[in-house]
Amino acid sequence: MDKIYIRDLEFIGYHGVFEEEKKLGQKFFVSLELTTNLREAGLNDDITKTTHYGEVAETVKKVFFQKKYDLIETLAEDIAREVLLNYPLISELKLEIKKPWAPVGIPLKDVSVEITRKWNEVYISLGSNMGNKKENLERAIKEIANIKDTFIIKESKIIETEPFGYKEQDDFLNSCIGIKTLLTPREILKELLSIEKKMGRERKIKWGPRIIDLDIIFYGKEVIEEDDLIVPHPYMEYREFVLKPLEEIIPNFVHPLLLKRVSTLKKELENEKN
């Protein structure tokens, strides 16, 4: 991808933990590296096909002066969020804030923080086999759409499937959605667990009945192996209730560990069943 650089925007700000910093002010420098696609703008000499760096600079200025921050880490987060939310052609940014007059007590050039933030595509499996199953799925999708800095970009049809593992229960309704989010994998997990709890999910029997089940299947191409968070979702390649709706919305997505397309995984599972 292409880059736009905005280097060393200079401001006098009133950010810092110490009271003197908030009263006297000091110099700050803000730099951004914006990841985008400049091809169409370059070929057509058309400013509407690119990101106006002057407007980005004004956005940085607006956030910089909107309040007094204790931490430049928090200031960096707020600037990054505001830029990504307001400039849709930017898929990722790297942001550095330098604080050359930081009250360290030792001569130094500057203190700085640097963060990288980006839009992430996440795919989530939904299932329900209790109560009004269709309404449960629809409510869960609405709840997900209300998560901060998150937008639904793809949604599969609802399918009916037989229960997996524990058979003595009602059939499921399942679907998959794709979201675009600024949240981290763990933040998304926390939000999904909160929605499950809000909707009355109880974990009594492994693979047992559930009013709603929400699982992260893919978080971009990331591979995560933690005690309570595994991505891509383990054993998804053996689960028709995941693969069938997932293939509808991302048939050509390549599993980062199995190195196979979703459509191929679904076909292989169908062949095994036959």
Q: What is the DSSP letter of 257?
A: T
Cα separation, 84 vs 224, in Å, equals: 24
Rounded alpha-carbon distances, angstroms, from residue 77 to 35, 59, 63, 158, 166: 17, 13, 10, 37, 44
Active site residues: 99
Cα separation, 214 vs 141, in Å, equals: 10
Distance, first Cα to last Cα, the chain: 43
Closest residue by Cα to residue 191 from 221, 223, 148: 148
Buried b (16+ CB within 10 A) or exposed e, 221-256: eeeeeeeeeebbbeebbebbbbbbbbbbbbeebebe
Tokens 């880490």 belong to 73
- Percent helix, strand, coil in the chain (nearest 5)? 35, 30, 35
Neighbours of 114 (CB within 10 A): 12
Residue 112's H or E segment, with its range, is strand 111-118
Neighbours of 141 (CB within 10 A): 19
